[in-house]
Amino acid sequence: MAWWRGPDVWLPWCLLAAALVAVPVLGDDYLAYQLGLYLLYGLVTQGIALTWGRCGFLPLGQALFFGLGAYVSGAVLKGSEHQALWWAAWPLAVLGPAVLAWALARVLFARRFESGPFFSLITLALGMLGFQIASQWSSVTGGFNGLGGIPDLPGLDRYARLYWLIVGVVLLATAAWVALDRLPIGTLWRATAEQENRLQFFGFATDRLKALAFGLSGALGGLAGALYAPHQGLVTPPVMGFQLSAELVIWAAVGGRSSPYGALLGAVGIGWLSATLRQEFVYWEVIVALLFIAVVLRFPGGAVSLAAPLWRRLARRSASPQAVPAPTRPGPRDDEVLVFEGVRVVQQGVTILDALDLRVATRGVHGLIGPNGAGKTSTFNALTARLPLAAGRIRWCGEDLAGLTADAIARRGVGRKFQIPSIFPALTVAEHLRIATWAQRAHGMDLLRMRTQHWRTPLRDAVEAELPFLVEASGRPAGELSQGQRQMLELVLTLLPEPRLLLLDEPCAGLSTHETAQQLALIATAVARLQATALLIEHDFSAVERLATQVHVLHQGRLLASGTLAQLQADAAVQAVYAGGRK
């Protein structure tokens, strides 16, 4: 099913096209000229909608890319009056900001798993830096007075023909935005916004995903700026300034930050209105500020979210078409051994893991038990790069895992199920299963093909047969599932990428007796089918008894004993640790 199918996709786009075409036809050229400016601002705002509304990080200095595009375009156009060769440089007005944005995001997001407000402050500071440079570097930018006398693009005079180019670009950008949203990459972006940490554990390099989004937003900003120069004929430093950056964010918020149409609505609606009303009605901007606060407090979706119920009614998805077999994952290897050598982890002065030596060399389920504070979850955290090692080594398949990021470790076949289900609440169950199917199978261009949406694996079929609620609730947001269903979904998400090493942290926490039995059956079947190795942290010893062939007891950050459950039950030292309180 192509991405443009469905009236909820093409209808708004056609309405937009009709409206934009109608303006110079029904109105006049001057109206179109004014609208053109705000359409350009709308392009930049669409970039903000992409990063903020979809990916979950907010840039407060987006005008930097707009201004950069404007200055480069202006300089090139002025230069091309003397030398036609300058034309070759015009694409730089778009590519420059795009590459800059991409590079910035790569650098700033490396080795992190959240996009906190500090990123926003950095973009704010960068925007101000750009403004200072533009104001001071008079020899290149014309300083305070800017670049004036910028000629039209050849054949496109600004008061008439240029409008059509702008409309074309806006329609194209909107279509691209919607397309990307419907392709697998759009799902991944939304998952990044919801639970970036979890997405990394699937093996997705979330910093690259975010960098792509930011690069695209930079491209949109640069493109808008590139057209701004011939449109206005003059480029001055405020084009990079904080005032514009701030207004762009407000337009995105009030119009609708999660929709390209909302972004355009915000820019054209609020922006254009502000320009006219600002002079006449002195309290207009106070009202806009109040609207913005109301949006933040109550209506995060902005103006378009008011039309959301209508939208949803339009969205009629046809039944799932032909399944496409997904690429297979590598099978079992001979060297699947997990070794902890003298591992030491210290947090805030407290030694959590103390010279831990543990060797897991056989397939099947290994139990990991121990009293509270023994360090069980910490071993998982140390394994998956969430806790730094003070000493010692962790090896998997003979490879030292030191220095690898969580997603890199996941790509080496390590799957982790969290104790508290960390799913993506706003994404549907079906989208969860798709993401898990793509994990470590989808690379590069796969994420930009609609085909990838229909990948299926035999394991997924088996799991859906075992847990019918996955099919029944497939269209519902996962946030609506019950606690037990979420735990089971979380387990399924860990199994679908077919990991070689499964880290299961209290998979039955919070489940009823019946659900626990189901969960345990699923674990047993899956581990046997995948021929994988699993480490199971559990407090419920009946579960450990049922599943585990080998059990390891941790105490005060060290390995106390290993053996079968029966052997440990007969071990006095182990019993003392549990019931006697002896330390």
Q: Which of 14, 88, 289, 315 binds another protein (CB under 8 A)?
A: 289
Contact 535, 568 (CB under 8 A): no
Q: Which of 539, 546, 562, 563 binds another protein (CB under 8 A)?
A: 539
Using DSSP's 3-state secondary structure scheme, residue 10 falls into helix
Nearer to another protein, 108 or 430 (CB): 108
Nearer to another protein, 8 or 540 (CB): 540
For the bound state, the minimum distance from the C-beta of residue 55 to another protein, rounded and expressed in Å, comes to 13
Stretch that binds another protein, among 180-188, 261-269, 329-337, 565-573 (CB under 8 A): 565-573
Helix axes 458-466, 483-495, angle to 10 degrees: 160
Structure tokens at 572: 């006095």
Q: Which of 1, 17, 99, 126 binds another protein (CB under 8 A)?
A: 126
Is 125 among the residues that bind another protein (CB under 8 A)? yes
Residue 554 backbone phi and psi in degrees, to 5? -105, 145
- Say how far apart CA 106 and CA 206 lie, in whole Å: 10
**Residues that contact another protein, how many (by CB under 8 A):** 57
Per-residue three-class SS string for 120-183: HHHHHHHHHHHHHHHHHCHHHHCHHHCECCCCCECCECCCCHHHHHHHHHHHHHHHHHHHHHHC
Tokens 């090896």 locate to 395
Is 135 among the residues that bind another protein (CB under 8 A)? yes
Stretch that binds another protein, among 181-189, 223-231, 282-290, 520-528 (CB under 8 A): 282-290
Contact 291, 285 (CB under 8 A): no
**The dihedral formed by the CA atoms of 369, 371, 377 and 383, expressed in degrees to the nearest 10:** -60
Nearer to another protein, 466 or 540 (CB): 540
Is 140 among the residues that bind another protein (CB under 8 A)? no
Nearer to another protein, 226 or 544 (CB): 544
Q: How many CB atoms lie within 10 A of CB 128?
A: 17
Distance of CA 13 to the CA centre of its chain: 25
Contact 147, 71 (CB under 8 A): yes
Kindly state the helix (H) or strand (E) to which residue 59 belongs, with its residue range.
Answer: none
Q: Which of 297, 310, 445, 572 binds another protein (CB under 8 A)?
A: 297
Is 541 among the residues that bind another protein (CB under 8 A)? yes
**Contact letters (x/-) for another protein, 176-215, by CB under 8 A?**
----------------------------------------
**Contact letters (x/-) for another protein, 409-448, by CB under 8 A?**
-----------x----------------------------
- Say how far apart CA 542 and CA 377 lie, in whole Å: 20
Per-residue three-class SS string for 475-510: CCEHHHCCHHHHHHHHHHHHHCCCCCEEEEECCCCC
For the bound state, the minimum distance from the C-beta of residue 572 to another protein, rounded and expressed in Å, comes to 11
Nearer to another protein, 1 or 128 (CB): 128
Is 277 among the residues that bind another protein (CB under 8 A)? no
Nearer to another protein, 80 or 115 (CB): 115
Q: Single out the residue of 464, 507, 472, 471 nearest to residue 486, CA to CA.
A: 507
**Contact letters (x/-) for another protein, 352-381, by CB under 8 A?**
-----------------x-xx---------
Nearer to another protein, 320 or 567 (CB): 567
Is 469 among the residues that bind another protein (CB under 8 A)? no
Stretch that binds another protein, among 4-12, 169-177, 278-286, 429-437 (CB under 8 A): 278-286
Q: Which of 246, 277, 339, 462 binds another protein (CB under 8 A)?
A: 246
DSSP 325-344: EPPPPP---TT--EEEEEEE
For the bound state, the minimum distance from the C-beta of residue 543 to another protein, rounded and expressed in Å, comes to 11
30 HSE (CA, 13 A, CB side): 0
Nearer to another protein, 305 or 483 (CB): 483
Sign of the CA dihedral running 314, 318, 319, 324: negative
Is 509 among the residues that bind another protein (CB under 8 A)? yes
Contact footprint for another protein (CB under 8 A): 58, 107-108, 116-118, 120-122, 124-126, 128-129, 132-133, 135-136, 242, 246, 250, 253, 282-283, 285-286, 288-290, 292-293, 296-297, 350, 369, 371-372, 420, 483, 486, 506, 509-510, 513, 539-541, 565, 568-569, 574-575, 578-581, 583
